[in-house]
Structure 1
Amino acid sequence: MSLTDRQNEILKAIIEEHIECAQPIGSLELVEKQSLNVSGATVRNIMADLVRLGYLNMMHVSSGRVPTDRAYRYYITELLIEGEVSLLDEVALRQKVWDERYELERLLANSAHALSEATGSMCISLTDDGFSAYAGISKILEMPEFYEIDVTRSVFRIVDDYELAKSIFSRSDGQNSLSILIGREIGLANMEPITVISTSCVIGGKKCYIGMLGPSRLRYNRIIPIVRYISQLLDEVGSSV
């Protein structure tokens, strides 16, 4: 079901405010912070419609609203305007990837570390034959979503279990395409507030996967281009070795 222009405006504003503050969003707060040219009452009515349509969750009767998995999926496919990878990120990623292009395991370990530094999230790289590397666990532990022990335990299961990690990070449709899994789409208990973005490539005849894991309130306009860029870099490496 498509949303009206006004519903799109309010939903986009709620999601982008929630991305920044990680707190439920109220109507008056939204009007003030997002400079919306509508009344608080109008925003409340639209938010009620968005709850009914499955785009927002109501935490408590008197509290604000938070975006659902469905809202983030809609945001990515319908509302998101991707940014450009900064020159600083391009240089850092290219240097760390290209310098290790002749040694696959070091290449993938460095790529995971570089992607973690660029995205501020936990990143994993894997091959089809059992190698895996990860970086950035300390980064996600600073985020409020991971204060929930059940969420963190599920994430650590992915780190500890190669087959589980591969089943999640290998879902891209083809080489250089991106897989974006949000919440329940990941298929693992307690991952409702989490997103995984991953891609695949072939290097030296081996199928490889790399991606990041973070809260669903990612800055998608910045993160998606970075993951796509490292995919392109690894594809260049695969073509040169």
Structure 2
Amino acid sequence: MVARIKLLVTSGRSNENMTDSLSARQIQILKLLIDEYIETAEPVGSETLDKKFNLGISPATIRNEMAELIKKGFLKQIHTSSGRVPTPKAMKLYVDQLMVEKQMSLADEVKAREDVDKGKGDIDRIMDGATHALAQQTGNLSVAAVDTYGKIWHAGYANIFSNPEFSDMLVCESLFSMIDQVDRINDLLFHRMDPASILDVMFGEELSWPNLGPVGIVSTHFNIYGRKGALGVVGPARLSYSRVVPILKYFGSLIEEATR
């Protein structure tokens, strides 16, 4: 099932119109390139796409299409590498329209429900349990907040070190500093991201906060005991969104269900 969700697009254009300027071939190349980038964390070149996916066109044609995708703001070149990486614009299109969600296993759904239900009747216990369980199931850093509550919850710091993007200590220091600041997290989850949406995605380079360029954040919003709540997964910009998104949405729905 292809995800159809409302996302925050800083360019002001809706994601529904993003594909209007792209040919079917360009959309195919973009999706495959993003899939490969998420898997390898390396810039992707035309030769890689040609050899791995057998697109039926020459590497030169692939290069030409990639050049068009650069002009349209969907790809960019990193340093002098011959490969290309997706821009935030491309990643949002991918999450919104191109990726196929990987459904949770029944065992993971049952475990998630148990972890959330343990805290029924207490905001702090529910959010603490949810963030720890979410970090464990996604293998990333998780963060949560309740609007006007004055507290944030987070778990899974050690998980991010499995990603090469976080070998840079300046990135880690900036990220950990942000996570520890209630005002910045509330600003991010309830103002910069859209609290009216079921799911929202934002990237570090959009925030204009130092050293957060490699970071990606995906969040879901819900009601919790009459307040607006948010739960997010933080990791590299190339998060495995097809796996993370259904898990995140499921946790959000469980919290809302448990606190009605």
TM > 0.5: yes
SS in 1 for 2:259: helix
Q: Distance in 1 between matches of 2:41 and 2:248?
A: 23
* 1:120 match: 139
Amino acid at match of 1:149: M
- 1:193 aligned onto 2:219: no
CA RMSD of aligned residues (A): 1.8
User: Structure 1 stretch 48-57 or stretch 112-121: which is displaced more?
Assistant: 48-57
1:135, CA displacement in angstroms?
A: 0.5
8 Å contact kept, 2:204–2:214: yes
Amino acid at match of 1:225: P
Contact persistence 2:143–2:155 (CA under 8 A)? yes
- Aligned residue in 1 for 2:250: 229
* Among 158, 161, 182, the residue aligned to 2:178: 158
Using the size of structure 2 for normalisation, the TM-score is 0.85
Alpha carbons 1:201, 1:238 under 8 Å: kept? no
- Once the two structures are superposed, the pairs formed by residues 64-213 of structure 1 within 5 Å of their partners are 64-127=83-146, 128-170=148-190, 171-174=193-196, 177-213=198-234
Equivalent residues in 2 for 1:10-89, closer than 5 Å: 10-61=29-80, 63-89=82-108
Q: Give the TM-score normalised by the residue count of structure 1.
A: 0.91
Residue ranges of structure 1 left out of the alignment (5+ in a row): none
Identity of aligned residues (%): 36
Point out the more displaced range, 151-160 or 21-30. Answer: 151-160
Deviation at 1:184, TM superposition (A): 2.9
What displacement does 1:61 show? 4.3
How far apart are residue 213 of structure 1 and its match? 0.6
SS of equivalent residue, structure 1 residue 141: helix
Q: 1:165 and 1:50, CA in 2 relative to 1: closer, same or farther beyond 3 A?
A: same
Aligned length: 238
Query: Is this contact kept in 2: 1:126–1:208, CA < 8 A?
Result: yes
Query: Is the contact made by 2:140 and 2:235 (CA closer than 8 Å) also made in structure 1?
Result: yes
Q: Contact 1:172 / 1:199 at 8 angstroms: preserved in 2?
A: no
Tell me the distance in 1 between the aligned counterparts of 2:86 and 2:182: 31
